[in-house]
Homo-oligomer: A and B are copies of this chain.
Amino acid sequence: MPEHRVAVVGASGFAGALCAVLVERHPSLELVAATARADAGRRLDELYPRHRVSRELEAFEADRIAGQADAALVAYPHGASAPVVAGLLERGLKVVDLSADFRLGLDLYEHHYGRHGAPELLGEAVYGLPELHREEVTGARLVAAPGCYPTAALLALAPLRDLIEDAVVDAKSGVSGAGREASQTTHFVSVAENVSAYGVEGHRHRAELDQELGQGSRITFTPHLLPIDQGLLASCYVRPSRELSKDDVRELFENAYAEEPFVELVASPPGVRDVRETNLCRVHATVEPATGRVLVFAVIDNLWKGAAGQAVQDLNLMLGLDEREGLS
């Protein structure tokens, strides 16, 4: 018996569509609307045959959505999201926003993304990484789901937070992370048999690391594009501020994650495929004997724990549900 009525705004993109699927299958949620801009009028399973959700996409209209839903997952591009979120909050909905619009403080945001459309809401927005901010998420009416790269990198680095002298995050993502828009970058022929770094002099996702870890200038973050569709690996190389043994590291991670339902500590470097189509983050942490560096490898499915899955996890918390519901 669904207890909560949920709308997905921007359901034609990869993350939004998966939001719709997850809400549709969720035992305590009812999918009452799925909106799209260019694709309004088409059925979701036309765009994504594999998803088998036959709901028709509709144009967004705040009043209608507010009449139908108690909560919304908003999966618009940054910039477009803020005003829509503001309109839904005003009408009394709880909102999880998947864009960057509510992840950062105003200064960081405007530095990386330009003018903000609803700066008055930044004060109450909660950064929706439950493993770090579970309590705030639980009480929030506006949660910003973290970026896919920061999700993996933060889960890898958070247990070491006060011990990072400097760190390198070499992150690798499947193509779905680049979104549904067709471009030379996402053309099969560009991606097949290829791999390369991009955004090497300052990817926007680093701002989230800086904000959450407070390490600013000492963390290098470099994303790479992989010839796979879903999956993200953050390989993190930390120079610790004091010598750490393997046992120290194991203890730090076990303390941090022993109770976490979606973080699995494993004994060897995980493959991204081990978590495909799940909301899990698998983490392997160790110490390189020759250098004393702490090496942490964290894998997620960028569309699940890196986007839609995490948004549903946040929503579960906001609605007082078990955060695992609908995600296993």
Residues of chain A touching chain B, judged by Cβ–Cβ distance below 8 Å, are: 14, 49-50, 166, 168, 170, 172, 174-176, 180, 182-184, 186-198, 200-202, 206, 216-220, 222, 224, 226-231, 233, 235, 237, 239, 266, 269-277, 284, 286, 288-291, 293, 295, 297, 299
Contact = CB atoms under 8 A, between A and B. Distances in A.
A26 to B, nearest CB: 15
A295 B203 CA distance: 14
B193 A182 contact: no
Contact of A290 (B183, B202, B270): B202
A238 B197 CA distance: 16
B195 A233 contact: yes
Contact of A172 (B187, B195, B272, B291): B195
Q: Which of A187, A235, A299 is most buried by chain B, counting CB atoms within 10 A of its CB? A: A187
Contacts of A168: 168, 170, 237, 293
B193 A273 contact: yes
A227 B192 CA distance: 9
Contacts of A290: 202, 206, 216-217, 220
Given A201-B288, A201-B289, A295-B222, A228 B187 contact: no
Contacts of A293: 168, 220
A222 to B, nearest CB: 6
A220 B237 CA distance: 8
Contacts of A187: 175, 180, 182, 186-188
Given A217-B290, A230-B193, A269 B198 contact: yes
A227 B227 contact: yes
Contacts of A228: 192-195, 227
A184 B235 CA distance: 23
Nearest to A230: B193
